[in-house]
Chain A
C-alpha cells in the first residue's frame, strides 16, 4: 500500500503546481491561458496555506478562513481580468498577448 503522505509530499505538490503556473504565465500567448496559469499559481498558494494549517497550526482555523477570503479575492480579480480582456478583444480582435505592443510603438513613432 501507499505510505501516508507527509507534509513534504504535500509541499512538493504545491511547489510543483506553482512552477507549472509560472511556466504557463511565461509561455502562453493567449491572455486567457495566462489567466488560467495565474489561477493555478493562486491555487497552489491556497493549497500551501491549507497544508500549513493542517500540519503546523492544526488547532485553529485561521488558515482555512484566510483561504476562503483568498478564493473570493481571486474571483474578483478574474472578473476584472475577463472584463479587460473583452474590451481588449473588441479593439484588437485577438487575445494574443504578443500583439499588445501598440503603446510602445506609439511612444516611439513620435520621437
Chain B
C-alpha cells in the first residue's frame, strides 16, 4: 500500500473540518497545529515510501515512484508553508488599513479546502488512468477558485475569483476535449496503453494543442497567462503564494503524465512548438515584470517567466530530472520571497516595490532572506536557482535549441535587473525615517527559516539532484524506447 500520505492528508482535512464544527471559536486556533502536524506526518510518510522504493496500489491504478515522490514532497512543502504563512491573517494579526479588507475568515474551512486541493495534486502524479487523471486535475483546480474568492467582503477578491473561474473552467473544457481526442485516437483510458497505441498525425497535433491550453493555464504560459496578474493581485497573499507554487507544480505533474506516458513517442515532434512557447513566455514575463510597481503583480510576471524556463526541460526526454529539481527549487525559493511579502504586507500594509525602502535598516535578517530569495530566482551562482537553471539550459542546448539558450540567457539578465530593483530599495534607498524594527510572528519566522535553509541546501548539496536523476530514469526510459 503506497497511499498512506494521501490518507493522512484526507484524515487531517476531515479532522480540521470537524474541529471547526464542534469546537467553540476560542479553541479553533488549535486547528493550525493539527494541520501542520498532519502535513508534516504526510511529508515524513512520503520520504519513508521513497526510501522503501517504488510500488503500486489497486492493481496498478495508483503508481508510486521516485518522480511521484518528489512531486508529493513539493506539494506538501508548498501546503505546509502556505499554512504557516496564512496563520497571521487567520489569527487577525495584521495592520488595519482603511479601504483594505484583509482578514481571512473560517480557519477550518480554509485549511480543508487547501488540504483537499493538495490531495488532488498528490493523486494527480500517481494516477495511471485517464479517469483518475481528469478527476484529480479538477480537484487540483476547483478548490483554488474558492480560495481566490475567499474574502467575500473584498470586491477585488471576488473579481479575481470571477476571472479565475471563467478562464479556469474554459481551459478545463478545452483540455477535456483534447483528452477525448486522445482517447478516441488510442481507444483506451490506461495512460500506458494510450501511449503504445498513439501515432503522430494531424488529430494528435490538435489534441496536443488542446491539452497544452489547459496546462498552459495552470503553468501560466503565454498566451494563457492573462489571469495571473489580476488573480495574484486580488487573491489573499498566502493564497497567491500557494497558487504560484502548488498550482504550477500540479500543472507540471499533469504535463509529466501526458507528455511522458501518453505522448512519449511524439514528444520530439512537438519540441519546436514548445521551444517557441518557452521563449515567448519567458520574454513576455520578464519584459512586463520590469515596469510593475505592485509587488503582487511583479511576482505574477516573475512566476510567468519562471514557467518559461521550466518547460525548456520538455525539449529532450532526458530533461525530466532537471524539471523535477527546478520545481522543488522553485517551490522553496518562491515561498521565501512570498514569506517576506506576506510578513511586510501584514505588519505594515505596504505592497508597492518602493515601499520596501529601508527594510535592511529596520529588519536586516528579513532583508537578507529576501535578497537571497530574489537572487535565487534570478539565478545567481551559489544558490539553488542557478543550479536548476543551469540544468534546464543544458537540456535545451543538448537538444540543439541553441537560440533558445541564448534567449533564456538574455532573459536571465533582464530578470536580474528587476529583482535587483527590490534589493536596491531595501539596501540603498533611505527608509521611512525612524521606523522601529518590525517583530515577525513565530509562524512567519518558521516558514522563512525552513524555506531559506532548504533553498540554500538544495543548491549546495549534490545529493538531491543525483537522487532525482537516478529516480527519473524509468520515466525517461519510457519516453526514449518509443
Cβ of B160 and Cβ of A103 under 8 Å apart?
A: yes
Within 8 A of B (CB), among A93-111: 97, 100, 102-104, 106-107, 110-111
B177 near A44 (CB under 8 angstroms)? yes
Report the minimum CB–CB distance from A44 to chain B (whole Å).
7
Residues of chain B within 8 A of A65, CB atoms compared: 131
Query: What total of A-B pairs shows CB separation below 8 Å?
Result: 137
Q: How many residues of B contact A (CB 8 A)?
A: 43
- If A57-B188, A63-B183 touch, whether A69 touches B134 (CB-CB below 8 Å) is yes
Q: Are the CB atoms of A76 and B138 closer together than 8 Å?
A: yes
Tell me which residues from 15 to 49 in chain A have a Cβ below 8 Å from any Cβ of chain B: 18, 21, 25, 31, 34-35, 38, 41-42, 44-46, 48-49
Q: Which residue of A lies closest to B231 (CB)?
A: A103
Contact residues, B143-187 vs A (CB, 8 A): 145-146, 149, 152, 155-156, 158-163, 165-166, 169-170, 172-174, 176-177, 179-181, 183-184, 187
A65 CA / B130 CA spacing, docked (Å) = 11
Across-interface contacts of B134 in A (CB, < 8 A) = 66, 69-70, 73
B 102-132 to A, binary, CB cutoff 8 A, 1 in contact else 0? 0000000000000000000000000000110
Does B233 sit within 8 A of A, measured CB to CB?
Answer: yes
A82 CA / B186 CA spacing, docked (Å): 36
Q: With A42-B173, A52-B183, A77-B142 given, is the CB distance from A84 to B149 under 8 Å? A: yes
Interface size of A by Cβ–Cβ distance < 8 Å? Answer: 47
What are 10 A-B pairs at a CB distance below 8 A? A45-B179, A49-B184, A56-B184, A57-B183, A77-B142, A77-B172, A81-B169, A84-B158, A97-B162, A103-B159
A residues within 8 Å of B by Cβ? 18, 21, 25, 31, 34-35, 38, 41-42, 44-46, 48-49, 51-53, 56-57, 62-63, 65-66, 69-70, 73, 76-77, 80-81, 83-85, 87-88, 90-92, 97, 100, 102-104, 106-107, 110-111
The interface of chain B, by Cβ under 8 A from chain A, is 130-131, 134-135, 138, 142, 145-146, 149, 152, 155-156, 158-163, 165-166, 169-170, 172-174, 176-177, 179-181, 183-184, 187-189, 229-230, 233-234, 293-294, 297, 352
